Structure 1
Amino acid sequence: MVHYTKVSSDEELHQILALQQLNLAKNLVPEEVIHQGFVTVEHDFDILRLLNKKHPHTIAKDKNMVVGYALSMHPTFKDTIPILKPMFAEIEKLKIPVNFMAMGQICIAKSHRGQGLFRGLYKAMKHYLPETIESIITEVDCTNKRSMQAHQTIGFKELLRYSADGKKWSLIMLK
């Protein structure tokens, strides 16, 4: 039985990193990238823990195993992860008039896909956010069709598309 909670231990952070490694585009065969989607950013333990201290990440657990996660990245960390700097630069250009939390990455274990965990993680994340946060903003690699469709299905709206690091990105927001 899957339940949603906030990260509360280093062991859960290590499980997030293990799940992330299994789903990085560089670690997948091309067919998996096309049909299953992928994650782009490779975090290290210290950064993941630092982000979690400001606002805990949301996880889906089956028994004692993390089977899905949605990483919270408070905007104060905009200069922490180089590949995400362009996203924050685009957000600043838009002068978004709301307080937001950046969702740093979402991932579901292959064994638990198609069971509603994507929607469940975002619902739980919104529940755990401080009341002052009015929206969640993230970006999706435009070649990641599975992720693009999943985000649209639960109500994310595209703010703009831009290019950075040789890729085209869709900047999206959920209110």
Structure 2
Amino acid sequence: MVRYKQASTKDELEQILLLQQENLPINLSFQEQSKEGFVTVEHSMEILKEMNDECGHIIALDNEKVIGYALCMHPKFGESIEVLKPMFAEINKILLGKSNYMVMGQICVAKSHRGKGVFRKLYLTMKKCLPLGIDKIITEVDEKNQRSLMAHEVIGFKNLAVYQSGNTTWRLIVL
């Protein structure tokens, strides 16, 4: 039975990083990336823990093994990860400096548990666990990651903007 909660131990954070590694483009074939999707950012334990201390990451556990996660990234971390700086700049242009949102910094479900509602339940749990005053979840998805774009659309995410950063076209979306 899969259960959902906020990450609270070093072991859970380490398991997030292991699942992340399995789903980085460098560890997937082009066919796997196209069919299954991928994650873009590789987090260090230090930044993952700092983010978790601010607002606990949402995890899905099956027999105490992390089989899915949705990272909570408070806007104060906007300058902490280089590849995400353009996203925060876009958000600030649209929201004009308002901070009543949480960024979902990355979501991933283990291949063994895809198509079973884990993705949706991670977001439902995240919505319940957000700090008081936060009324939006914002994230971005690489336009090449069609599986992720479709999954986000199905649960109600709407487009905020499309922008280019480096060689990547990003879709900025909000729930």
- Encode CA deviations 1:93-140: one digit per residue, 9 max, x unaligned: 112556100000000000000000000000000000013100100000
CA distance in 1, matches of 2:52, 2:132: 18
- CA-atom RMSD, angstroms? 0.9
| Aligned match of 2:162 | 161
**What is the DSSP-based 3-state SS (H/G/I as helix, E as strand, rest coil) of the residue aligned with 1:79?**
coil
| Aligned match of 1:114 | 115
- Encode CA deviations 1:30-69: one digit per residue, 9 max, x unaligned: 1100000000000010000000000000000001100000
**What is the DSSP-based 3-state SS (H/G/I as helix, E as strand, rest coil) of the residue aligned with 2:50?**
helix
Residues 1:151 and 2:152 are matched in the alignment: yes
Consecutive unaligned residues of structure 1, counting only runs of 5 or more, are: none
Runs of 4+ deviating beyond 2 Å: 95-98
Q: Give, as a single letter, the amino acid of the residue that structure 2 aligns with 1:84.
A: L
Matched pairs, number = 174
CA distance in 2, matches of 1:120, 1:172: 18
Consecutive unaligned residues of structure 2, counting only runs of 5 or more, are: none
| Aligned match of 1:71 | 71
CA distance in 2, matches of 1:118, 1:25: 20
Deviation at 1:25, TM superposition (A): 1.1
CA contact under 8 A between 1:59 and 1:70: conserved in structure 2?
yes
| Aligned match of 1:90 | 90
Deviation at 1:26, TM superposition (A): 1.4
CA contact under 8 A between 2:75 and 2:99: conserved in structure 1?
no
Residues 1:172 and 2:173 are matched in the alignment: yes
| Aligned match of 1:100 | 101
CA contact under 8 A between 1:56 and 1:72: conserved in structure 2?
yes
Task: Tell me the percent identity.
Answer: 54
CA distance in 1, matches of 2:129, 2:94: 26
CA contact under 8 A between 1:98 and 1:135: conserved in structure 2?
no
**What is the DSSP-based 3-state SS (H/G/I as helix, E as strand, rest coil) of the residue aligned with 2:34?**
helix
CA distance in 2, matches of 1:146, 1:39: 11
